[in-house]
Amino acid sequence: MGQSILLGVSGGIAAYKSVDLVRRLRENAHTVRVVMTQAAQSFVTPLTFQAVSGYPVGCDLLDAESEAAMDHISLARFAEKIIIAPASADVIARLAQGMANDLLTAICLATTAPIAIVPAMNHRMWHNPITQANVAKLQQFGYAVWGPDEGTQACGEYGLGRMLEPEAIVTHIENKNSVTPLHRKTIVITAGPTREPLDPVRFISNRSSGKMGYALAAAAAQSGAKVILISGPTALAPPKNVQLISIETATQMYETVMQQIPQCDIFIGAAAVADFRPTTAAPQKSSKNEFSSTLSLTANPDIIRAVAQFTPKPLTIGFAAETHDVKLHAMRKWENKGLDAIIANQVGLAEGGFDSDVNSVELYSAEGMVQFPRQSKIELAHHLIEWISNYYGKQTKDSIKNIG
Ligand code: C5P
């Protein structure tokens, strides 16, 4: 299906190849609007891009005429994906600084669309630690970076810095996993059990291993999201490119989550939070005689319910582990907690659920039910993140339509 692509062209000899890129994208039924930096116009004229794209080309942030045609906010909204090809060292540096001193950089700051840069520059400029730091910073913010290729350069030198060929760029654009709606989004995930102390050596907890939450965190990071994993005690290694915050109790998990929610786009509650904590925790180890047959318990905060009540509310997805009447319990929790979706699974069977490496789940949302058959938690996490990414993409498109 054709996509609405905003192509940013910055200054570099590779700009001539982007003319062919536009032609190929249009052949594949995509709508392309081109925005050029001033330096790009020294290599190819806006008229050339206008002729191949079929639309006026955006060149100037403050030009009354082009503002009237389509201003930076409208262009930012138009874009399902923004591709900057070629991306010069200069435009990469300006983007990394959050500058908005021309039309292209202003659009990049204003958009919610995923952005990919396709660098093209002299190999020494590419290897310069400043450029590398700028690229790494953009990657941290979820920008995709395609290339560069190695080869002979326009200056006659050999090295890494050639722009990818148009055909390869089209392949990246059309690969649904290469720029997902999760790029540059912050996802907060809770995982594992919580521990509620009775005294310094004893606690109340549950059988959660944390495997599902950690697998989701890894899959989300691979989709370009910035992931903050807030985890109770587990035996698992922290996933790559994920910020891990370790906590012990439900109260600590609640406080840590609430600190992160103002910057959070998507929240996934995969933790098995203890529903109650001992009302008092003894400061020293109690002797077994000191435990009476009744234990006084206090309810823990419902973290996900608090997240779902936050304004602006992140897309909020919970889990329901049930031994029976799975659908009924899941639907109740979905409604009572104000969730966008709930992922339900049956526990207490010989295989699957807590501590297992495999699981099968049903996901309920306003769009109905989707079944994810038995598979490894790692595979399942990728499928769930794909669903979440598509759902999130549709939601943000809808909210943009509502504003526009
Ligand atoms: O009510 P129940 O514990 O079955 O709900 C499960 C969902 O709610 C999970 O997403 C879990 O992470 C979340 N939850 C929570 N805080 C609690 C209890 C559950 O965030 N105190």
Same-domain pairing of 164 and 194:
no
Q: Collapse the DSSP code of 198 into the 3-class scheme (helix H, G, I; strand E, B; otherwise coil) and give the result.
A: coil
Per the structure, the count of domains in the chain is 2
- Is the model's pLDDT at 354 over the cut of 70? no
Q: Who contacts 58 (Cβ-Cβ below 8 Å, separation ≥6)?
A: 33, 34, 35, 36, 66, 69, 70, 72, 75, 103, 104, 107
Asked if residue 148 lies in contact with residue 169, where contact means CB atoms within 8 angstroms, the answer is no
Same-domain pairing of 159 and 10:
yes
Whether ligand 1 lies within 6 angstroms of the CB of 231 is answered as no
pLDDT tens for 158-192 read 989 999 999 999 999 998 666 778 887 999 999 99
- Domain end (from 143, 177, 211): 177
- Domain end (from 177, 197, 224): 177
Give the distance (Å) from ligand 1 centre to CA of residue 130: 44
* Strands 4-9 and 315-322, sheet pairing: unpaired
- Domain end (from 131, 159, 177): 177
Amino acid found at 21: L
DSSP structural state of residue 243? E
Distance CA 215, CA 134 (A): 29
Same-domain pairing of 75 and 135:
yes
- Is the model's pLDDT at 404 over the cut of 50? no
CATH of the domain at 105: 3.40.50.1950
Distance CA 258, CA 264 (A): 10
Same-domain pairing of 191 and 166:
no
Distance CA 221, CA 228 (A): 9
Give the number of the atom of ligand 1 that is nearest the alpha carbon of residue 271. 12
Same-domain pairing of 19 and 127:
yes
- Looking at residue 402, its pLDDT comes to 47
Same-domain pairing of 139 and 253:
no
Q: What is the pTM of this model?
A: 0.70
Angle at Cα 312 formed by Cα 308 and Cα 313, nearest 5°?
Answer: 25
Domain housing 95: 4-177
Same-domain pairing of 236 and 125:
no
Distance CA 377, CA 357 (A): 6
Same-domain pairing of 223 and 79:
no
Distance CA 333, CA 36 (A): 50
264 is catalytic: no
Same-domain pairing of 165 and 196:
no
Distance CA 2, CA 294 (A): 65
Model confidence band, residue 352 (pLDDT cutoffs 50, 70, 90): low
Give the distance (Å) from ligand 1 centre to CA of residue 293: 27
pLDDT tens for 211-269 read 999 999 999 998 889 999 999 999 999 998 899 999 999 999 999 999 999 999 999 99
Tracing tokens 């692509």 back to the chain, one arrives at 5
Whether ligand 1 lies within 6 angstroms of the CB of 302 is answered as yes
Backbone dihedral region for residue 42 (phi beyond 0: left; psi -120 to 50: alpha; all else: beta): alpha
